[in-house]
Structure 1
């Protein structure tokens, strides 16, 4: 019996318009900056039209990427609410894949923008095994004070009563054809915001380290530290951190070269350093593990893995020959691909937008027992 498990940050699947750009230039879309708009009502009308006009292409492309992943269970990030998820599934996914993801789960988390993690599932796997939800639990309320007795040295950035998870750690107990599987779906703190002379990734790393410690504590507390390695669990989502990256050096005119940088300091070391969980993406070539292209001009470009399906040791051993797939056909044309990795993009993909997402879905086929 096999199961296809995927994760995908769909990038701002929203039901709301954001009009704060009229007063805050940092929040204003770049195309709106091309026009002189002095009246707030006119700005709101134009911004609404811009978003509506662009969203249909974007969500068709998101759905195409999900259809190509062909997962039985799909973990999602950056979902506004259940209404947005249901509308997307019915209006887009249903048209691509038919009667597929009828089971949908989302719990409102802590994100200041209101974006949440969620899960959609088929009723059966491709080979006819029933997919059942046994229990679901949010850990959004977990605070530094709650965790401090269990994690020595944990220091809260502000107050001990602050929530640890910037979004949530959504825990789902499942049975797949009668076999147990527990999923932990996360979207860790972003790497944005330089502070105290540190770059955004470095300055925010302590928060992600706390989130990783919390995920690990939740799992060990659930199964017992001595039994955890033998359990069927997976940690899925956008981790907003990487242990390695591929630096992209050059330009379109002069060409590119690619340099792999390994063993970078990372909050994710808390999952991997002692074999607590394993990243099966390491079974791919070092230049071919990326799920996101980051660029701030020609002098700052790299490819990295931000999206993960971490497997328990038991699941990893059972699936030692399974290699994750990365769906890159929804990437915009500005994304620089190393030699031999180019794919045929989906119809209507643009230079920067429309696109399926800034992230790539990843999917892996797993055996369970």
Structure 2
């Protein structure tokens, strides 16, 4: 069986603020969006809250309209605000119960070349079971599977599953598998909470049970942990550590109940020696495929951007029984921008510029005798 994981960075549409030339351009928009969304969700609005809402709405381009360059304010019922003819914004609502609606990020189509290169990576992986990170929704993932893969000569997966997570930007985690590898029991952890009542997982720790042709039961937990680039460093690290701790707890529960074949895969957004990932990488018996003698890193230690050591943020972690069954492993970087001076790897011919790259992430795979 070939198991793989790939951060596709959206398939058809992506939030416009995440589609800019650099993360630093989009980051302020995403941070202001999150702050305004948080304030709008408060039960009671103080005058200070209202003043800050007005500031954020101006910054997000909502001063004259409910549609800004990157966000949309949907007002279905109730009176949230007025825009007097004399100018400005007046918040009339005194709390979330006074109006019905939502604040949403605007989407923009993904570059067509990037989309097709994403399909090429998935085709070249030839995975039997593929964990997918940053897919918009199950209908989108299914459409990509049945429309784009065959259009390029690829074979669609038999099973496609994705459970909506906690992220409002449409970046969820899912699983695709071939005929003979049916997806059985699913479990979501979107409702797992921290002591303060906030969700543990920024997206989800989606748990899929897959049966192999030999009858073996494989448990695959697909993850996408808190990013370093969004929010303060201390808060991001604390969130990621809490997520790693919770995954370790879930893993222990599974092994205590007799599960032997467990894979924890995805974009963990931190390096192997980082403190936030220690509860998962050091305090469990999970083993990183990168450490297996049969694994080939292609000459570079990382999985993201230019794949330096500090860019090792994607993982395929295996329980001891699975790790012992590994026959080969490696990465597919053909869909990534290789740099230019000099090129670090040979990409697809269609990756003529950075914008055409399928993703900033490499896909990771492992051949496992199970």
Describe the shift of the 1:168–1:356 C-alpha distance in structure 2 as closer, same or farther (beyond 3 A): same
Secondary structure of the 2:366 match is strand
Aligned to 1:156: none
The reply on whether 1:241 has 2:270 as its aligned counterpart is yes
Q: Is the 8 A contact 1:292 1:358 kept in 2?
A: yes
Secondary structure at 1:185's aligned position in 2? strand
Query: The residue matched to 2:174 in structure 1 has which SS?
Result: strand
Alpha-carbon shift at residue 113 of structure 1 (Å): 1.2
Rounded Cα–Cα distance in structure 2 between residues aligned with 1:20 and 1:187? 16
2:224 matches 1:187? yes
**Does 2:189 match 1:139?**
yes
| Secondary structure in structure 1 of the residue aligned to 2:8 | strand
Report how far residue 316 of structure 1 moved: 1.0
Q: 2:210 aligns with which of 159, 169, 174?
A: 174
Shift in Å at residue 95 of structure 1?
Answer: 2.7
Q: Unpaired runs of 5+ in structure 1?
A: 29-38, 45-49, 124-129, 146-159, 244-263, 296-300
Kindly provide the CA deviation profile for residues 264-287 of structure 1, in whole angstroms up to 9, marking residues without a partner as x.
333222223245200021235786
- Contact 2:3-2:128 within 8 A present in 1 as well: yes
Instruction: Quote how far apart the aligned CAs of 1:224 are.
Output: 1.2
Q: Distance in 2 between matches of 1:265 and 1:9?
A: 21
Q: What are the superposed Cα offsets for residues 15-41 of structure 1, whole Å, 9 maximum, x if unpaired? A: 46648999x89559xxxxxxxxxx999
Residue 334 of structure 1 and its aligned partner are, at CA, apart by 2.5
Aligned to 1:314: 321
CA contact (8 A) 1:170 1:184 kept: yes
Q: Which residue of 2 aligns with 1:8?
A: 6
TM-fit CA distance, 1:302: 6.2
Question: Partner of 1:113 in structure 2?
Answer: 169
- Structure 1: distance between partners of 2:219 and 2:367: 16
Q: Which residue of 1 aligns with 2:346?
A: 344
SS at match of 1:144: coil
Aligned to 2:289: 280
**Is 1:294–1:303's contact at 8 Å kept on the other side of the alignment?**
no
The partner residue of 1:224 within 250, 256, 263 is 256
RMSD between aligned residues = 3.2
For residues 130 and 16 of structure 2, what CA distance do their matches in structure 1 show?
Answer: 27
Q: Measure the CA separation in 1 of the matches of 2:134 and 2:165.
A: 11
Count residues in correspondence.
291
Q: What SS does the corresponding residue of 1:12 show, helix, strand or coil?
A: coil
Q: Given that residues 333 and 351 in structure 1 are in contact (C-alpha distance below 8 angstroms), is that contact kept between their aligned partners in structure 2?
A: no
**Within 5 Å, which residues of 2 pair with 1:235-274?**
235-243=264-272, 264-274=273-283
Question: CA contact under 8 A between 1:235 and 1:309: conserved in structure 2?
Answer: yes
- Post-superposition Cα deviations, 1:21-70, rounded to whole Å, max 9, x if no partner, equal 99x89559xxxxxxxxxx999979xxxxx954x62111100011111111
Distance of aligned partners of 1:358 and 1:232 in 2 relative to their CA distance in 1, 3 Å threshold? same
Distance across 2 between alignment mates of 1:68 and 1:139: 31
Structure 1 residue 80: Cα displacement: 0.9
For residue 58 of structure 1, give the secondary structure of its aligned residue in structure 2. Answer: helix
Give yes or no for contact 2:2–2:367 (8 Å, CA) kept in 1.
Answer: yes
Q: Is the 8 A contact 2:184 2:210 kept in 1?
A: yes
